Amino acid sequence: MTNITKIFLVLNSGSSSEKFSLYEGEDEVCSLYFEGVEENGKKKYICTITRADGSEELMDKKWDSLNEAFKEAKTIFEKEGFINEAHPLDGILVRTPAAGKYFTKHHIADDETFRQLEKAKLTYPLHVPNAIRGLKNAQSAFPGVPVLTLSDSEALTRDSRRDVEYALPKEIIEEFDLGRYGAHGSSYGYVMGKIKELGILEKKMIICHLGSGCSVTGFIDGEPVYTSMGETPLEGLMSSTRAGSIDPTIGALLGEKFGAEEAIKIMIKDSGLLAEAGSNDMREIIAGVEEGNEKAVMAYNMFVDGVVGKIGEFAAKMGGLDAIVFTATIGERSIPVRSSVIGKLEFMGFKIKNDAVLDKTKGYVNIAEEGFKPVYIIPTNEAAYMIKKAGELLDDLAK
């Protein structure tokens, strides 16, 4: 049985930022966010501390590098009284991309982890260096504390999956360790766990994770069978700044012109809604649609059609669909997006009522019109899933 009172530090390492979220059990008690700012032509790092009551405070200090900031984080948590001899840190969690079979499981970081991360730089040149930096800083700043890599595909890596293979020569598959491992696994793992806990599991379900990154996964009897993301999160749906699935020749041409790393950056950071509408914020795009902005209308329609297309594809492959779930920021909060998506699926037996709101006491809401198939909103909690899995891993090692 996992001890829910364990204290974990969850890291989110960016190229110019570092976020530390401290959890006691599944409750976030404090977070630190370090971000870079320009000062007299030089980059400095400032820190905002957010406490459990939601209050924020900009700390009266600046750091020259994220590495220095990392070391300071431990001191700040100790001064705040969250980490001490009576309440030691049980583990540090770093989410890792699903680059190869090794990262379809959770691990205690060791030499093999870093060896595998070096290999993963080929397909994740933007994300992996940040993960390596976070892991090494964690080991240095918190000696003796287990540092865990939490797989972003573990919840999707099941024998039930029918879409893992790529139709490429086997020697290429083996050389680069390629597979449609998928992403957003922590979100899908949490939401499907909540579905089972709530007793609302249907035979054939689709979960739509719609946030800054977007994906869709189909489940039969609670087990994943199809997911929209592939070897990397670039495959599948267009999202805030990602292109989504495009003709592979375009990627090859971009790689030839700009080099592989810059080409990947273009497709990850400079594309998607941002490229189409000039904004990566769905709220701004919806406002543009209401004003008749042609670029906003095109971006919005492309986004909705992408989601509808994946739902229809997976429903056909599964031989039907009994329920749809929306989660993540857009999925949970955007009435227009949900209405637009479900509005195209009435022929499949789905229709929603516009006045439905989330019942926070239940943790979910069915927004379907009476007599139609269920459409649920279920808030995700990726950190809670990561913490649960980290606790299980540490408990297993302690046996």
Name, in order, each residue with C-beta under 8 angstroms of 170's C-beta and a sequence gap of 6 or more: none
For 229, the token pair is 């993301």
CA–CA distance, 116 with 103 (Å, rounded to integer): 8
CA–CA gap between residue 108 and residue 22 (Å, rounded): 19
Please, is 26 exposed, middle or buried when counting C-beta atoms within 10 Å of its C-beta (0-12, 13-18, 19+)?
middle
- End-to-end C-alpha distance for the chain, whole angstroms: 11
How many angstroms separate the CA atoms of 201 and 247, rounded? 36
Burial of 85 (0-12, 13-18, 19+ CB in 10 A): exposed
> Strand ranges (DSSP E) for 221-304?
223-227
CA–CA dist 191, 109 (Å, integer): 27
The answer to whether residue 163 is catalytic is no
> Which residues, in sequence order, are CB contacts of 172 under 8 Å at separation 6+?
178
User: 149: which residues sit within 8 A by CB, 6+ positions away?
Assistant: 94, 95, 96, 103, 106, 107, 108, 109, 113, 131, 135
Q: Judge whether 378 and 130 are in contact, CB under 8 Å.
A: no
Catalytic residue among 110, 152, 221, 305: 152
Residue with tokens 């976030």: 28
Which tokens sit at 194? 């909540």
Residues in a beta bridge with 22: 9, 30
Residues catalogued as catalytic? 152
